[in-house]
Chain A
Amino acid sequence: MTAAMVRAEGVRKHFGGLEVLKGIDLTVERGQVCCLLGPSGSGKSTFLRCINHLEKVDGGRLTVDGELVGYRQHGTKLHELREREVAQRRRDIGMVFQRFNLFPHMTALQNVMEAPVKVGAVPRNEAHERAQQLLAQVGLADRGHHYPAELSGGQQQRVAIARALAMQPKLMLFDEPTSALDPELVGDVLDVMRQLAADGMTMVVVTHEIGFAREVGDTAVFMDDGVVVEAGDPRRVLVDPEQDRTRAFLSKVL
């Protein structure tokens, strides 16, 4: 129980000849909200995707709840996990995408029920009841029978959060959840995330919402060019940073 929820030690990743992550060290404790900030191309989204193995780590150690991501260690050898084992571990990690990625051929309710029924083997009526509760939790109790195309961006993103929560994850990953939204819809989504943080969910959030990071985040991590430039209390990192690069970035976005 003492293990950190996410622990990265010298995590590296490259796409072809391009090194995107150049040794990331980072720890997210249980119940904490960690906000990743930085200019586009800094590797923050790639790092987030490494956490649930949507991207394969090329070097270093990355563990979630004490278990290596994508590998099993036997002595000095790392064995790649099988499809089934990778899927098994992903169940415990919820992910919310910038472009929502709701299943367009299913209603909001079916989107939320799909994984519990098909992956978690939860009985259909039980999953239905729980999906209704989750939709109510994100303020969309009356939208269950709408298809994604019939919902606004903000509503779609809240359904996506409910869908990720349906598997009762111990960790939630948010990949720029409000970047594709109209400004007036951002607030509703941030409210849901704020409530989630207050309920004690461990969250890693890639975001450009400095205000949200400052208010809700337990730690803020500023990344640039594949390295962590500065990390710590968001009320310090995002208000009075030590590094020039952080200061330059903040002056541009604020």
Chain B
Amino acid sequence: MTVTKDALGAPPAGGPRAPELDVVPVRNYGRWTAAVISVLALVGLIGSLAKNDNLHWDVVGDYLFADLIFDGLGTTLWLTAAAMALGLGLGTLLAVMRLSSSPVLYGIATAFVWVFRGTPLLVQIIFWGYAGALYKFVKIGVPFTDITFFQTETNTLLTPAVAALLALGLNEAAYASEIVRAGIQSVDPGQTEAAHSLGMRPALTMRRIVLPQAMRVIIPPMGNETINMLKMTALVSVISAHDLMSNIQDVYAQNYQVIPMLVVASLWYLALVSVLSVPQAWLERRYGRGTARGAHASPLQRMFGGTARLVGKKNKEDGR
């Protein structure tokens, strides 16, 4: 690699040509040693796991693609999607309420966040699972009269799946509202003023101008929340919502192969989380329009962009 030629440009015609110099990188012996020790430790761990008969790779293989597992996966996936949709929708509403100038709306939203963020998720899941013990019937009608439009037993309405969705969704709404609020507040007030001065009404301003810009701040933490949600759905196994974890537990309750079944579950959760990072990167790119220059590159371009640039530069130099 030649540095001087690039840094100084072509020497003036007839002038003395600068000698081409080779660059010798610093050698980090400490870093090499640490890398060797880490690799040895990792190989040892993998080797001991591979040789451990208690892991029962045959059981893992038998159940990895079993129908029961796919049923559970289906529930886990729709539960994650539905709970995130509920959380994001309700969370945005709560965020707008918390930013509203009405003290009543602000108070209600604040109280909601206080309750649902302040109690353990596990407690909320069990609560919704046993809500039938609190209200035996669900009625919709005119309060303080006998007029009833709709009435049913709580337990027929609140199946384990619905209870799980409510618990996860309402809990998520409390966290999402804080993320959305931070996002809205990160947008320059001048943007709202500019929109208002063009005759845009507050609702249109929020939808067209503020929220699209807030998305840049909202998406990375919401991606985290989605990944968290996928894993938190495992908690609803306590009310037998037939998600992946519930079905895994059902299996090892019968065959006592706890560790292999947990390996099956872990492999699937890992696979799903890996897939989820793709749409997040895509969304970040979409809402990064018009900001940083690097935001236009796809995740793959960003990952390999460094080497591509180096290679490109090298080629350019060679071409001279």
**Residue from the list A101, A120, A160 in contact with B193, Cβ < 8 A:** A101
> Which residues of B are interface residues toward A (Cβ below 8 A)?
188, 190-191, 193-202, 204, 208-209, 212-213, 287, 289-291
> Given the complex, which residues of A lie within 8 Å of B191, measured CB to CB?
101, 103
* CB of A217, distance to nearest CB on chain B (Å): 22
| Chain A minimum-CB-distance residue to B289 | A105
A114 touches B198 (CB 8 A): yes
How many residues on chain A are close to B (CB under 8 Å)?
33
**Residue from the list A104, A148, A167, A173 in contact with B199, Cβ < 8 A:** A167
Report how far A114 CA is from B198 CA in the complex, Å: 9
| A163 beta carbon closer than 8 Å to chain B | yes
B202 touches A90 (CB 8 A): no
B197 touches A54 (CB 8 A): yes
Report how far A146 CA is from B211 CA in the complex, Å: 21
**Residue from the list B196, B201, B209, B289 in contact with A84, Cβ < 8 A:** B201
A90 touches B197 (CB 8 A): yes
A106 touches B290 (CB 8 A): yes
**Given A97-B193, A103-B209, A105-B213, A119:B200 Cβ within 8 A:** yes
**Given A52-B197, A90-B197, A118:B213 Cβ within 8 A:** no
A97 touches B190 (CB 8 A): yes
B199 touches A88 (CB 8 A): yes
18 A-B residue pairs with Cβ-Cβ distance under 8 Å, sorted by A, are A52-B197, A84-B201, A93-B197, A95-B194, A101-B188, A101-B194, A104-B290, A104-B291, A105-B213, A105-B289, A105-B291, A118-B200, A118-B208, A119-B198, A120-B199, A147-B289, A149-B291, A167-B199
Report how far A160 CA is from B190 CA in the complex, Å: 13
Report how far A99 CA is from B204 CA in the complex, Å: 22
A115 touches B200 (CB 8 A): yes
* CB of A238, distance to nearest CB on chain B (Å): 28
* CB of A204, distance to nearest CB on chain B (Å): 13
| Chain B minimum-CB-distance residue to A173 | B197
